[in-house]
């Protein structure tokens, strides 16, 4: 219960080799210390040898301790006895982005859980998005949880910060069409023109997308269902389906 309660807390502890490798390869934050279970020196020899080598190159500390001490620091159960403590990540303002002529950019606003946020980033990254835009209030403070649930994608994706309406104006000023997920005055995502370049905006389940942002959209798209269904998909699921429809149309 304690680990479940702490899942939404701020955390710069990255758990498991997938997350740690993403930090190393993403180069968006400093890796300060790697802590490994002293009982796994042989079973995890390949990973530990790799990290020890990178420690001498990158200047982070390698520490060996008991599994009990590692459990006190972690929120998940799949760390495999290796965790890392990292620095904060500097997220630049959107104005520092130079949009690509065939770019695909995504904004997800209002997801209420860092795990769902991470799941969305995983699919968005796999679908080929060039960057993600976040509002100033986002889940990157719980970076370790987000990284684990995104299978490292959160550390590999370029991320920028902006208010939603300002982001829409930014991309429109660069000649990039804005696509918003919504219902009113919408067309099916499967019929809409989703050829790049485009900026996709997906709102959370509770607040959705503001009227101001919707007014800036070139197209509002909806996801049609295969049966009568009065509910709605989660923001993470909607972002995933739309990202793959964009991938399909741009193959």
- Which of these, 158, 143, 180, lies nearest to 94 by C-alpha position? 158
pLDDT band at 33 (very low <50, low <70, confident <90, very high): very high
Indicate the angle between helix axes 114-126 and 235-249, nearest 10 degrees. 0
**CATH label of the domain that carries residue 217:** 3.40.1280.10
What average pLDDT does the segment 36-62 reach? 92
23: pLDDT strictly greater than 90: yes
- Which of these, 179, 143, 181, 137, lies nearest to 162 by C-alpha position? 137
Report yes or no: 48 and 36 within 8 Å, Cβ to Cβ.
yes
Q: What is the pLDDT of residue 2?
A: 47
The answer to whether residues 107 and 80 belong to one domain is: no
Structure tokens at 203: 């709102």
Number of domains present in the structure of the chain? 2
The answer to whether residues 70 and 128 belong to one domain is: no
Given 24, 58, 86, which residue is the final one in a domain?
86
Say which range, 61-70, 133-142, 197-206, 234-243, has the weakest mean pLDDT: 133-142
* Residues whose CB falls within 8 Å of the CB of residue 21, separated by 6 or more in sequence, listed in order: 152
Q: What is the pLDDT of residue 54?
A: 94
Given 86, 104, 139, which residue is the final one in a domain?
86
Q: What is the pLDDT of residue 39?
A: 87
158: pLDDT strictly greater than 80: yes
Structure tokens at 226: 């295969």
Strand order in 61-65's β-sheet?
13-15, 82-86, 31-37, 61-65
Q: What is the pLDDT of residue 5?
A: 46
Torsion of CA 222, 249, 191, 232, to 10 degrees: -20
The answer to whether residues 77 and 111 belong to one domain is: no
d(CA 183, CA 164): 18
Q: What is the pLDDT of residue 86?
A: 94
Domain that holds residue 213: 94-249
Q: Whose structure tokens read 């920028």?
A: 160
Q: What is the pLDDT of residue 9?
A: 55
% the chain with pLDDT above 70: 95
1: pLDDT strictly greater than 60: no
Given 52, 70, 86, which residue is the final one in a domain?
86
Helical spans, DSSP H, in the chain? 2-5, 17-26, 45-58, 67-73, 114-126, 143-149, 153-156, 164-173, 211-216, 235-249
142: pLDDT strictly greater than 90: no
The answer to whether residues 231 and 185 belong to one domain is: yes
DSSP-derived 3-state class of residue 225:
coil
Averaged pLDDT of the chain: 90
Q: What is the pLDDT of residue 222?
A: 94
213: pLDDT strictly greater than 70: yes
Say which range, 16-30, 161-175, 193-207, has the weakest mean pLDDT: 193-207
64: pLDDT strictly greater than 80: yes
């Amino acid at each position: 219960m304690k680990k479940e309660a702490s899942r939404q807390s701020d955390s710069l502890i990255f758990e498991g080799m997938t997350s740690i490798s993403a930090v190393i390869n993403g180069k968006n934050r400093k890796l300060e210390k790697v802590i490994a279970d002293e009982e796994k020196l042989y079973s995890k020899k390949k990973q530990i040898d790799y990290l020890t080598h990178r420690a001498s190159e990158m200047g982070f500390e390698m520490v060996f301790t008991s599994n009990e001490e590692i459990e006190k620091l972690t929120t998940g159960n799949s760390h495999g006895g290796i965790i890392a403590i990292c620095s904060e990540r500097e997220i630049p303002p959107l104005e520092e982005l130079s949009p690509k002529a065939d770019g695909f950019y995504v904004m997800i606003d209002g997801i209420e859980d860092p795990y769902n946020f991470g799941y969305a980033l995983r699919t968005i990254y796999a679908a080929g998005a060039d960057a993600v835009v976040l509002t100033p209030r986002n889940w990157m403070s719980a970076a370790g949880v987000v990284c684990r649930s995104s299978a490292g994608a959160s550390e590999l994706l370029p991320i920028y910060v902006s208010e939603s309406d300002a982001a829409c104006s930014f991309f429109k000023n660069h000649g990039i069409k804005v696509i918003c997920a919504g219902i009113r005055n919408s067309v099916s995502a499967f019929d809409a023109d989703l050829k790049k370049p485009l900026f996709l905006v997906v709102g959370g389940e509770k607040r959705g997308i503001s009227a101001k942002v919707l007014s800036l959209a070139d197209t509002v798209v909806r996801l049609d269902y295969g049966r009568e269904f009065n509910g709605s998909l989660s923001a993470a699921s909607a972002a995933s389906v739309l990202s793959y429809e964009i991938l399909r149309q741009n193959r």
